[in-house]
Amino acid sequence: MECDLANYSAQITPHGWSAELLIKLETISRGKVADIFMINLFRIDKSSNKPTKYLSWQPTLTTNPCFHVPSVFQQIRLV
């Protein structure tokens, strides 16, 4: 699928699922050329019969789920 900011797709596989996200560089670079970004990655696992699980690449260590904690973001370099 495509939108103004990114292209994305997801599919169910024999071993679970996979997803791809292509974010246009101008969307995240704020008008300047950059190859290093500060990010964190998150997942909310909701199930109707299980408690919701909140997962992040870099733990935010907040009492309530809060994923926007820039002090724990890590660098990624686009190559």
Which DSSP symbol is given to 49? T
pTM recorded for the entire structure: 0.59
**In a shared domain, residues 51 and 18:** no
1 and 18 part of one domain: yes
pLDDT-based confidence at residue 14 (cuts at 50, 70, 90): very high
Number of domains in the chain: 2
Q: Using CA atoms, how far apart are residues 14 and 39, in angstroms rounded to an integer?
A: 30
Would you say residue 70 has pLDDT above 90?
Answer: yes
The verdict on 41 and 26 lying in the same domain is no
Residues 24 and 39 reside in one and the same domain: no
- Which pLDDT value is given to residue 3? 64
Question: Mean pLDDT, to the nearest integer, of 45-52?
Answer: 87
Query: What tens digit of pLDDT does each residue of 15-38 get?
Result: 888 988 887 777 776 667 677 888
| Domain that includes residue 52, residue range | 35-79
Whether 53 and 70 map to the same domain: the answer is: yes
